[in-house]
């Protein structure tokens, strides 16, 4: 009996020891899990703080522009008016609209943007399809040259371009801005080729093989099958091209000297001279006695009018644009 009792006692001790060890292990695991939760919490708090700071840096100038565009000249010089104006002074937008010659300039910008964006989508997608699907001598070298063109500023090439277009009689026309895009050149052409190529390389080959079996040529395959399924990359390249061409004032400022041809952004630097002329009595409908047309509010209003169409387009296409960025392989 004593032997059996001893064995039972030993079993109880081992069981107690195992239970204690298990309990200790659970405590250690709980502490480790608690430590990980705290670490995750601190990490997420730090991320949110960083994102908030970045959002503030980017959004505050925009907020400052909108608020000040609605301030009257009196509010702008009144130190007691910090942020919110005493009343919304919409007259700033009326003055800016006239000073920018906005109706005509917006038509010019729209014409340039539509043609250049169309040219970039057609040419860059076609070139990218060749890089993605065809093997030819020097393919990698040529693609490296395309990538290199992304980092070459237009200011480096503007002088030979200007001389060539001058010899062709293209100055004071939109041809220097539009024609290069139909050959894959122009603003950020290399980037659009890269975007389309990344997307095409992710497409299954079965689509093109089925087209070949049906007797489609390479161009017909690209035009009827590959391009229609490339809506995401087309949207990304199209939005980027629209933004850059609408906001561009460097190339139009070089090639266009006639004010009636100017797009909207070029008119901002001339706003001061225009408002001085208006203030001299050529625009009595805008003025009251003692009022100065040129003020900070008018400048902010004019700037907002310039970027307003692009903001509207982005707000409409925001979700599709972000989905397209992910599908094109630009980001993981």
Best CA proximity match to 125, nearest among 13, 15, 264, 219: 219
| Mean pLDDT value of segment 18-23 | 55
Q: How confident is the model at residue 179 (pLDDT cuts 50, 70, 90)?
A: very high
* CA 50 distance to own-chain centroid: 21
- Residue 29's pLDDT is 59
CA torsion sign, 66 to 71 to 77 to 83? negative
Query: What b-and-e string marks burial along 166-191, b requiring 16 or more CB atoms within 10 Å of the CB?
Result: eeeebbebbebbbbbbbebbbbbbbb
Q: How far is the C-alpha of 94 from the C-alpha of 68, rounded, in Å? A: 15
Percentage with pLDDT > 70 across the chain: 82
- Residue 117's pLDDT is 94
pTM of the model: 0.77
| Mean pLDDT value of segment 58-74 | 86
Q: How far is the C-alpha of 141 from the C-alpha of 181, rounded, in Å? A: 22
Check: CB of residue 239 under 8 Å from CB of residue 325: no
Whether residue 182 has pLDDT greater than 90: yes
Per-residue H/E/C for 72-88: CHHHHHCCCCCCCCCCC
Compare 107 and 76 and report the one with higher pLDDT: 107
Within 13 A of 151's CA, how many CA atoms are on the CB side? 4
Q: How confident is the model at residue 290 (pLDDT cuts 50, 70, 90)?
A: very low
Residues 186-223: tens digit of each pLDDT: 778 889 999 999 899 888 888 888 888 888 888 899 99
User: 52-66, 123-137, 316-330: which range is least confident on average?
Assistant: 316-330
What mean pLDDT is reported for the chain?
82
Best CA proximity match to 242, nearest among 143, 316, 304, 295: 316
- Residue 289's pLDDT is 42
Residues 230-253: tens digit of each pLDDT: 888 999 999 999 999 998 989 999
Q: How far is the C-alpha of 231 from the C-alpha of 227, rounded, in Å? A: 8
Mind listing the domains of the chain with CATH numbers? 101-267 (1.10.3720.10)
Dihedral angle of Cα 320, 323, 327, 328, to the nearest 10 degrees: 60
| Mean pLDDT value of segment 52-63 | 86
Most confidently modeled of 44-48, 172-176, 293-297? Answer: 172-176
Compare 35 and 209 and report the one with higher pLDDT: 209
Residues 92-115: tens digit of each pLDDT: 898 889 888 899 999 999 999 999
- Residue 173's pLDDT is 94
């Amino acid at each position: 009996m004593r032997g059996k009792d001893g064995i039972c006692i030993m079993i109880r001790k081992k069981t107690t020891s195992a239970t204690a060890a298990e309990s200790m292990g659970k405590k250690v695991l709980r502490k480790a899990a608690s430590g990980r939760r705290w670490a995750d919490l601190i990490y997420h708090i730090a991320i949110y703080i960083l994102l908030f700071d970045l959002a503030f840096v980017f959004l505050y100038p925009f907020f400052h522009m909108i608020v000040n565009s609605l301030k009257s000249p009196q509010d702008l010089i009144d130190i007691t008016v910090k942020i919110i104006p005493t009343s919304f002074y919409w007259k700033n937008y009326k003055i800016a609209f006239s000073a920018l010659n906005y109706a005509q300039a917006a038509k010019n910008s729209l014409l340039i943007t539509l043609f250049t964006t169309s040219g970039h989508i057609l040419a860059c997608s076609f070139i990218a399809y060749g890089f993605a699907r065809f093997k030819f001598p020097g393919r990698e070298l040529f693609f490296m040259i395309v990538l290199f063109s992304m980092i070459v500023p237009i200011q480096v090439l503007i002088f030979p371009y200007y001389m060539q277009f001058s010899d062709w009689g293209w100055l004071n026309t939109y041809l220097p801005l539009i024609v290069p895009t139909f050959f894959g050149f122009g603003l950020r052409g290399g980037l659009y080729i890269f975007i389309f190529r990344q997307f095409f390389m992710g497409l299954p080959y079965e689509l093109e093989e089925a087209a070949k079996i049906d007797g489609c040529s390479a161009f017909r395959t690209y035009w009827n099958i590959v391009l229609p399924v490339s809506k995401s990359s087309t949207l990304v390249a199209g939005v980027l091209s629209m933004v850059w061409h609408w906001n561009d004032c460097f190339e139009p400022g070089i090639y266009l000297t006639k004010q009636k041809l100017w797009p909207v952004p070029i008119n901002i630097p001339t706003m001061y001279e225009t408002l001085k002329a208006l203030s001299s009595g050529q625009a009595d409908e805008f003025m009251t006695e003692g009022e100065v047309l040129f003020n900070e509010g008018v400048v902010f209003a004019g700037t907002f009018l310039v970027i307003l169409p692009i903001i509207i387009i982005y707000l409409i296409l925001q979700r599709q644009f972000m989905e397209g960025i992910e599908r094109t392989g630009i980001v993981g």
